[in-house]
Amino acid sequence: MADTTVESRPPSMLDGIWSVPNLFTLIRLLCLPIFLYLLFGLDNQAAAAWMLGALGATDWIDGYLARRLNQVSEFGKVFDPTADRLLFIVAIVAIMIDGSMPIWFGVAVLAREVLVGLMMVIATLVFKIDRIDVTWLGKVATFLLMFAVPGFLMGNSDFPGAAGFEIAAWILGIPGLALSYWTGFAYIPQVRAGIALHRAQQASGVVPSTS
């Protein structure tokens, strides 16, 4: 009798790419040109700040939809944080160009994002370690910064109470920046452990999973 057993294939990065949470992430990403137009095209700092604040406030929705609709995917696990990081970096550069954020603060935030991002890319692509999930403290740091950044922009606008927004930006921004560096350093032992595991698997002839 012929063997009709069908071998299951390993999960692909493209599995589940067409899903509601990924569509929501894409819509948030497509709002980036609108933010830039509001800031530089219309020179409306307040409107740009509200747009950026809305993008930050909806950061949790795509993850919630993925779990609620049972549409968690490998693509979404990469696409969501990548889109968030792109929105964050472009927004900070734009606000520094606008002159609404202290250069040292923006550079400090960007340096952390770039260094941690490069570390993760090298660790996953070169050393093939498993993807490291964002820690709870890392999410808190991102939350604080994602509201501090538009706060600086609002604080430099003609919106009523602008001075209060700038004060709030500093109150959220300083601990957010410090916490982001703390969590960035906390990833180093996890990356080193993953690299050590990868080398041990290579030495023993075990092929590490890339799923």
Residues 107-142 pLDDT 10s = 999 999 889 888 888 887 777 777 777 788 888 998
pLDDT band at 11 (very low <50, low <70, confident <90, very high): low
Residues 148-204 pLDDT 10s = 999 999 999 999 999 999 999 999 999 999 999 999 999 989 888 888 887 887 777
List Cβ neighbours of 109 (8 Å cut-off, separation of 6 or more): 92, 145, 149, 177, 180
Q: Which SS3 state, helix, strand or coil, does residue 11 take?
A: coil
Structure tokens at 203: 């030495």
**Closest alpha carbon to 132 in 63, 60, 208, 189:** 189
Q: Is a pLDDT exceeding 60 seen at residue 3?
A: no
List Cβ neighbours of 92 (8 Å cut-off, separation of 6 or more): 101, 106, 109, 110, 149
Indicate the pTM of the whole model: 0.79
d(CA 156, CA 137): 29
More confident residue, 95 or 78: 95
